């Protein structure tokens, strides 16, 4: 079950961070967490079939936010659901899709991570993306999984700059290699 999704917690680090702002990673400064060796990229994309896409929205000092998507497997996720689990470390945040994943132990959409007030836009975009997939013409219900982090101290969070377009751009940019962080 190497596809069990413990991706959400570790992936929050990707939201609202542009490539030029990355600080050294733990291994870069001699800290080697865990007992296993990392993969070639030392990233979640080292897991076969996992793709990650990201879009950063930056505008002067008003916006410094983004959306990260994780596609946990190849193919049509709705038709070939992926085993999944969610661990809640802090119940204060918003996490759309939690109850169905907890009950059924599977995921049927990519995972989106964005800022607190853009969770609904993430859900809408993932539902549209799933419904548009070939083979899903008769789908009548979609459980999109969208997590959040409050970046209100970095951005004008009330302006809600992440919309379905940014989520779709992140989905289109998703790749199984080093995560690109394009600006929107």
Is the domain covering 7-173 a CATH 3.40.50.300 domain?
A: no
- Answering whether pTM is above 0.75, one says yes
For the stretch 100-110, pLDDT in tens is 999 999 999 99
Q: DSSP readout, 111-125? A: EEEEEGGGHHHHHHH
Query: Three-state secondary structure along 51-68?
Result: EEEEEEEEECCCEEEEEE
Q: Phi/psi at 123 (nearest 5 deg)?
A: -60, -50
Q: Mind listing the pLDDT tens digit for each residue in 34-43?
A: 888 888 888 8
pLDDT tens readout for residues 79-117: 999 999 988 877 777 899 999 999 999 999 999 999 999
Query: What 8-state DSSP symbol labels residue 71?
Result: E
d(CA 8, CA 168): 19
pLDDT tens column, 123-138: 999 999 999 999 999 9
pLDDT at residue 25 in the model? 76
């Amino acid at each position: 079950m190497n596809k069990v999704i413990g991706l959400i917690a570790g992936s929050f680090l990707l939201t609202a961070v542009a490539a030029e702002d990355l600080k050294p990673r733990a291994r870069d400064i001699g800290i080697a967490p865990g007992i296993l060796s990392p993969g070639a990229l030392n990233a979640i994309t080292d897991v076969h079939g996992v793709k990650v896409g990201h879009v950063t929205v930056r505008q002067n000092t008003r916006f410094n936010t983004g959306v990260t998507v994780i596609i946990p497997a190849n193919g049509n996720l709705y038709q070939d659901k992926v085993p999944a689990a969610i661990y809640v470390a802090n119940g204060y945040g918003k996490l759309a899709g939690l109850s169905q994943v907890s009950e059924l132990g599977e995921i049927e959409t990519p995972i989106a991570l964005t800022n607190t007030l853009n969770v609904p836009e993430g859900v809408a975009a993932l539902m549209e993306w799933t419904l548009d997939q070939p083979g899903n013409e008769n789908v009548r219900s979609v459980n999109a999984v969208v997590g959040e982090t409050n970046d209100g101290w970095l951005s004008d969070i009330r302006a809600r700059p992440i919309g379905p377009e940014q989520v779709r751009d992140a989905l289109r940019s998703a790749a199984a290699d080093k995560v690109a962080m394009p600006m929107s």
